[in-house]
Amino acid sequence: MRLTDLETPALLLDRTQLDRNIARMRTQLDGLRVGQRPHLKTAKSIEVARRVVGRDGGPITVSTLLEAERFGEAGFTDILYAVGIAPNKLDRVIALRRRGIDLAIVTDNVEAAGAVAAAARDARERIPVLIEIDSDGHRAGVRPDQPDLLVAIARALSDGAELRGIMTHAGGSYEARTPAELVRAAAQERDSAVACAAILRGAGFAAPVVSIGSTPTALSATGLDGVTEVRAGVYLFFDLVMAGIGVASVDEIALSVLTTVIGHQRDKGWILVDAGWMAMSRDRGTASQAVDQGYGLVCDLEGNPFVDLVMISANQEHGILAIRDGSSARLPDLPFGTRLRILPNHACATAAQFGDYQVVEDGAVVARWPRFNGW
């Protein structure tokens, strides 16, 4: 099938670039002698998972229990659910474990640890738990300067559950703007994780797993001694935010949205397309970067970016394309019916707008890979 045969908007995935991105991360982590537990929250696809980890059952990371269930049905049996657990989800966790899936969960507080331990005792199922560490003040987790809290959580878990180790996510690395800042973020993530594992071990608790995960730090780390696994995920597709941080080039972005020109407002310098925020998402992650890409960077049908042509505004089903402010570039002549590709700010958010990938290779659609949304 040709790209011009598809209805628009459609989500395109370049299979060749996907494989290159997978190989790049594998080479990086092999060089650092650390294991990989790829995060599949961006892909949410069995076919993508098999290209990353093969068919041997994992290990993988997920962000929803629906992902854990779908990947479990497909034979992936070593799964980390990397979002703090809610009490209403423990029955599903136990059900997954009873199906033979080694599902581990995450918490960062004593109350949740006690609830997990109680559920584990009642079900006679030792639920494995990783304590979440706050390595950079970005989100959730126990800080390295809170050893008493760390040990208290471990103690609460020991009454029925299984303490498997610690995990952290250096989300603050998304604010880095130079290679030196990225290297420092990676070192801080690693040091925080290793220090917290040492605190637990010093208090008499086993902490076999030291898990870190962010694409910017994984690709910028120069040493990961003491870390057992890396959970990066968006590197599979990359996006404009990753390009703006400097860990990928625009050419490495494997995901795009196919759209069609539906009209013009020539006096305003606008081109209208049939992909609005319902296709691109509302994510404006590049707005705080040096180059604001609007709602996405516009490319021709072959994926070549036009000079400074971006989606400046998005309504529900209408996208407005124009030359970015301050540019001397000229608006290209794109007649009614022209097919275009838009590179996304945030691959996770854009992919979530669609139910499948149209897989592209050498300019042709070669497969359709379903993806699953929801919780």
- Amino acid at position 254, single letter: A
**What is the pLDDT, as a whole number, of residue 159?**
93
- Cβ atoms of residues 170 and 187 within 8 Å: no
**What is the pLDDT, as a whole number, of residue 351?**
98
**What is the pLDDT, as a whole number, of residue 171?**
87
Predicted TM-score of the model (pTM): 0.95
Instruction: Name beta bridge partners: 84.
Output: 106
154-165: pLDDT as tens digits: 999 999 999 999
58/88 Cα distance (integer angstroms): 26
- Cβ atoms of residues 82 and 62 within 8 Å: yes
**What is the pLDDT, as a whole number, of residue 225?**
96
370/375 Cα distance (integer angstroms): 16
Give me the residues of the chain with pLDDT under 50, please. Answer: none
Kindly list the structural domains of the chain, giving each domain's residue range(s) and its CATH number in brackets, ordered by start: 3-9+254-370 (2.40.37.20), 34-236 (3.20.20.10)
What would the DSSP string read from start to end of 301-347? TTSPEEEEEEEEEE-SS-EEEEEPTT--PPPP---TT-EEEEE-S-H
**What is the pLDDT, as a whole number, of residue 213?**
87
**What is the pLDDT, as a whole number, of residue 299?**
98
